[in-house]
A = this chain, B = another copy of it.
Amino acid sequence: MTKAVKPAAGEARHYIRIKEQILADIAEGKLQPGDRVSSESELVAAFGVSRMTANRALRELMFEGVLKRSAGIGTFVSPKHLDVDLLQIRNIADEILERGHTHKAVVVKAGLMKADANVADALQLILGAEVMHSLIVHMENDQPIQVEERYVNPLVAPDYLSADFYSMTPHEYLTQVAPITAFEHIVQAVKPDRAIRKYLGLKNDHPCLRVFRRTWSGEAVVTCALLYYPGAQYRLEARSSKGPSKPVAILGEKQ
């Protein structure tokens, strides 16, 4: 058999094409979490590649947490989860786009307000100081996955509200004017109140992860935020640098 040893000019590498196809199928919903993915030999037939190439595509997607494989059974789409790395401030938009999904942010509120006791304490400002406030609902594939209520310290990032967020995300703007040197995450499980339930489209008794996050630049607190996630569906991960190589099933969960 004389197969082309190289993909046609301009095309991506074979194993990358396979990965992209699978990621696209997941993004479009053709493949749902738990679904079986084509086996290596099926990919061999479909893409006209050797099994080692198909193997590489699937193995890398497994390392990346997209797929789960087990010998003798097959390859399956991992249960979807959001990696909110507690050790890192990540941009949720990037994270969603990385998964090949669409991200949309609905700005519910944005403006100046006077700091109440909690906010003033969190941002280390005096009571009644002006702070910038925004409430945003982040959507993944048009499904709400995070409510973000953010307070920004105007002494550190005075142009936050007037910045051009078409050419630069708020996240990028903040990292530029005030690089994060420290942060704090406090995680709780709560019963969300009515407003949060509405934004996330949750039922009354659905548990919810609430993350309280503050970021520092030097000695100054730059932002504090409350982040709400539908709790049983998404999960927060915190790993030490050496960390595990691949995601595993969580004890007590059905595979």
Least distance between A108 CB and chain B CB atoms (Å):
15
Taking a contact as CB atoms closer than 8 A, the residue among B182, B205, B226 that contacts A191 in the complex is B205
A236 CB–B CB distance under 8 Å: yes
Least distance between A51 CB and chain B CB atoms (Å):
13
A175 CB–B CB distance under 8 Å: no
- Contact across chains for B122 and A251 when beta carbons are under 8 A apart: yes
A173 CB–B CB distance under 8 Å: no
Note all chain B residues with C-beta closer than 8 A to A187.
Answer: 86, 187, 209, 235-238
- Contact across chains for B249 and A122 when beta carbons are under 8 A apart: yes
Taking a contact as CB atoms closer than 8 A, the residue among B183, B209, B248 that contacts A188 in the complex is B209
CA distance A209 to B184 in the complex (A): 18
Q: How many chain copies?
A: 2
- Contact across chains for A232 and B191 when beta carbons are under 8 A apart: yes
* A255-B117 CB under 8 A given contacts A186-B236, A188-B235, A240-B184: yes
- Contact across chains for B251 and A149 when beta carbons are under 8 A apart: yes
* A231-B243 CB under 8 A given contacts A87-B84, A184-B237: no
Least distance between A14 CB and chain B CB atoms (Å):
16
What is the 8 Å Cβ interface bit string for chain A, positions 101-143, against chain B (1 contact, 0 not)?
0000000000000000111011000000000000000000000
* A245-B189 CB under 8 A given contacts A231-B207, A251-B212: no
- Contact across chains for B85 and A240 when beta carbons are under 8 A apart: yes
A222 CB–B CB distance under 8 Å: no
A83 CB–B CB distance under 8 Å: yes
- Contact across chains for B189 and A207 when beta carbons are under 8 A apart: yes
* A244-B214 CB under 8 A given contacts A191-B232, A232-B190, A255-B118: yes
Identify the 4 closest CB pairs spanning chains A and B, nearest first. A189-B231, A182-B242, A207-B207, A189-B189
